[in-house]
Amino acid sequence: MSPAKCLRARMAETGLVHIMAAHSPLSAILAEEAGFDGLWASGFELSALYGLADMSLISMTQHLDMLRAIAGRTTLPIVADIDTGYGNAINVIHAVSEYERAGASAVVIEDKTFPKVTSLVAGGRQELLRIEEFQGKVEAAITTRRSRDFLVIARTEALIAGLGEANALRRAHAYVEAGADMILIHSKSKDPSEIESFSRGWTGSVPLVIVPNAYPDLDADRIKALRNIRMVIYGNYGVRAAATAIQETFRRIIADGGVQNVHKEILPVEEIFRLQKMDEVMAAETRFLR
């Protein structure tokens, strides 16, 4: 069974899949070991890895290179964050073809203008496309995909842009008419009531996706109670956790004047060897190096 088919089957089986953001093969390995259902090839996390703002500064080539590297080290399905599709509907045709070939099981395309500004930043420029123009991008994605199991997820930023629930619902219904397999509804409200209200008002024929970065109190039990959300993406927790640990460790080394204290508290190098599958490499050396 393909990863894309597995993702659809997992949603049907459990009712809700948990997708963890990854910005590297190592973070993907750790997410798989933790038990997540899939991976979010995050544009935000990759931008952060490069030390850049999430404002369409990372190229499609850079993102695809990382996605291929991740796909080579995990069996989990990958949901690719392709932002606005790197341009208009013609760019979307090229992007969907490349991402499916690279190993993605789904893409998420958002209805912002290109170049975008990350959704949760205070005072960020949040400009949306005309509904008809974004419908064309969704149709282009659906027409381009080779496998019907490959998910095209349309993301509306209407709530992020302050346009209100009615506008968000109107956009979401239009995107389903264009062929979207799922709708990602995004919000920067710290109160999950905005998402819960949208969910209760949603009468479309496809399920919803959410990214509870701003409203972490919306846990799995509350999500399942809404009955039409099938995917939750943890969109920036990997890179935030990594940065937290690195900041603390580096600061302590400077404060302590050495590694004598942190050395005992971080993972032993043998655990990194395990994650790198060094035992397999050593076995191959023994067998093949002559």
Render the chain in DSSP notation, one character per residue: --HHHHHHHHHHHHS-EEEEEESSHHHHHHHHHHT-SEEEE-HHHHHHHTT--SSS-S-HHHHHHHHHHHHTT--S-EEEE-TT-SSSHHHHHHHHHHHHHHT-SEEEEE-B-SS---TTSTT----B--HHHHHHHHHHHHHH-S-TTSEEEEEE-TTTTT--HHHHHHHHHHHHHTT-SEEEE----SSTHHHHHHHHH---SS-EEE-TTS-TT--HHHHHHHSSEEEEEE-SHHHHHHHHHHHHHHHHHHHHTSSTTGGGTSPPHHHHHHHTTHHHHHHHHHHH--
CATH code linked to domain 3-236 = 3.20.20.60
Q: What percent of the chain has pLDDT over 70?
A: 100
Q: CA 40 from chain center: how many Å?
A: 3
| Catalytic residue (choose from 54, 81, 83, 111) | 54
Judge if the upstream peptide bond of residue 115 is cis by omega within 30 degrees of 0.
Answer: yes
CB 67 within 8 A of CB 83: no
51-92: pLDDT as tens digits: 999 999 999 999 999 999 999 999 999 999 999 999 999 999
Domain boundaries, the chain: 3-236, 243-288
CB 106 within 8 A of CB 79: yes
124-180: pLDDT as tens digits: 888 999 999 999 999 999 999 999 999 999 999 999 999 999 999 999 999 999 999
pLDDT of residue 207: 98
Identity of the amino acid at 27: S
Q: How confident is the model at residue 185 (pLDDT cuts 50, 70, 90)?
A: very high
Tell me the mean pLDDT in the region 44-56: 95
Tell me the mean pLDDT in the region 253-280: 97
Question: Which residues is 208 bridged to in the sheet?
Answer: 183, 229
Active site includes 279?
no
Q: How confident is the model at residue 42 (pLDDT cuts 50, 70, 90)?
A: very high
Q: How confident is the model at residue 43 (pLDDT cuts 50, 70, 90)?
A: very high
Tell me the mean pLDDT in the region 204-219: 96
pLDDT score of 288 more than 90: yes
For residue 38, give the nearest of 77, 90, 80 by alpha carbon.
77
pLDDT of residue 120: 82
pLDDT score of 223 more than 90: yes
> Mean pLDDT across the chain, nearest whole number?
97
